[in-house]
Amino acid sequence: MPATIICVGMAGSGKTTFMQRLNSHLHQKKTPPYVVNLDPAVLKVPFGCNIDIRDSINYKKVMENYNLGPNGAIVTSLNLFSTKIDQVLEIIKKRSGDFKHCIVDTPGQIECFVWSASGSIITEAFATENPTVLAYIIDTPRSSSPTTFMSNMLYACSILYKTKLPMIVVFNKTDVRSADFAKEWMTDFEAFQDSLRTNAELNDETSNGSGYMGSLINSMSLMLEEFYSTLDVVSTSAYTGEGFDDFLDAVDKKVDEYNEFYQKERERVIAEKKEKEKREKERQLSHLMKDLGIKDKQKKKQTDEKAEKGERENVDVLSDIEDEIEQDEKDGYEHGLIDLESSEREYTFQEDRNGELRDDANASEVAKSIKDRYQQAFEATAKTASSDIAADIAKYINGQ
């Protein structure tokens, strides 16, 4: 199966130039790759693309139609493209016999791809179909400061644990400055401490090795020691082509690592997710059947057998309802039922049900007074109604 290489990195780290040199290097080896461009805002791509997001999505139109800024338009473009990722994978799958590597270029705004929902969908889709490796591109000259170097390492660590995919740290632009200092900092804690101390002693405006920043960087460098051991580090120069054979060797190593460890872990996670969805569907179906009063075939068969034997059919009792309520509460549902046994409120009524009993001594007199007033009102109304009816009858007779 072809290996997928997703190139990510900070803006200005040289991702697109790295992609161009990698594409050229693979063509020289007579193993041309399958190239995918996912940067909708780039004006010119220095390599030929098999699939280009710009062919299906107009970045400027997205900005105008949705009233978005540059980063918002990039995220929206990726969201639109991710809805068709299944078709993209189908195209790549049909051509998979013609290439050994599929290289993917991502937007310069790394956060728009790594931390967006569409970026996760695209990355996981590639990882599901083929062995996938992340190439994290670092600008070597700008990482000569211990503070900037630590920032890059923390970002690489977060991406590794976010994507859960094999990663290769690529120190690019080694034609400007060698990456030996960075490799030494990753393997020798004391060397990094010495460089941090020296940087602090310079006491210039670029120094960040003292005070709270220095304490933080010291702690981080000690914690990331185990993280460094899981990474493959490669030095390359997209300008001269140096180090790309080492990079391809690291890719082959990471593909084997993917097949041995990462694929099994992803299959386990996918299986757990499917099992969880299955249990949730069964639980919802069970509640629906209870709501509709539907019984399964086995229970109906048992009921029919009992009816033939003359046994009484089981009916729902209060204990059954309480069992269901208890199970629902465990699942997170709430019930507002009143516990009648523990209720402290009591109601007492007279035997003739004329009103609620009162404890005061004048209760009987008050009740009698109210009864007399109702009786007087009834008699007065009855007399008025009777006189009106008699007058109407007399008028009717005289009229005839």
pLDDT digits (tens, 9 = 90+) for 300-349: 566 666 655 555 444 444 445 555 666 666 665 554 444 444 444 444 44
pLDDT score at 356 = 44
What does pTM read for this prediction? Answer: 0.67
Q: Are 34 and 20 in contact (CB under 8 A)?
A: no
Task: Judge whether 267 lies within some domain.
Answer: no
pLDDT, one tens digit per residue, over 111-131 is 889 889 999 999 989 998 889
pLDDT score at 378 = 66
Task: Judge whether 390 lies within some domain.
Answer: no
CA distance 122 to 177: 34
List the domain range (segments joined by +) for residue 41.
3-204+220-260
Task: Judge whether 139 lies within some domain.
Answer: yes
Q: Are 244 and 180 in contact (CB under 8 A)?
A: no
**CATH code of the domain in which 158 resides:** 3.40.50.300
- DSSP-derived secondary structure for 306-344: HHHTTPPPP---HHHHHHHHHHHHHTT-------STT--
Task: Judge whether 359 lies within some domain.
Answer: no
pLDDT score at 345 = 47
Nearest residue to 129 (alpha-carbon basis) of 160, 103, 90: 90
pLDDT score at 194 = 85
What is the tally of structural domains in the chain?
A: 1
pLDDT score at 299 = 58
pLDDT score at 205 = 46
- The SS3 of residue 29 is coil
- The SS3 of residue 279 is helix
pLDDT score at 300 = 58
Task: Judge whether 68 lies within some domain.
Answer: yes
How far, in Å, are 108, 376, 382, 395, 399 from residue 386 at the CA level? 97, 15, 6, 15, 20
Task: Judge whether 76 lies within some domain.
Answer: yes
Spans in the chain with pLDDT lower than 50: 205-209, 312-319, 335-359, 400
Task: Judge whether 24 lies within some domain.
Answer: yes
CA distance 182 to 296: 67
Task: Judge whether 125 lies within some domain.
Answer: yes
pLDDT score at 207 = 47
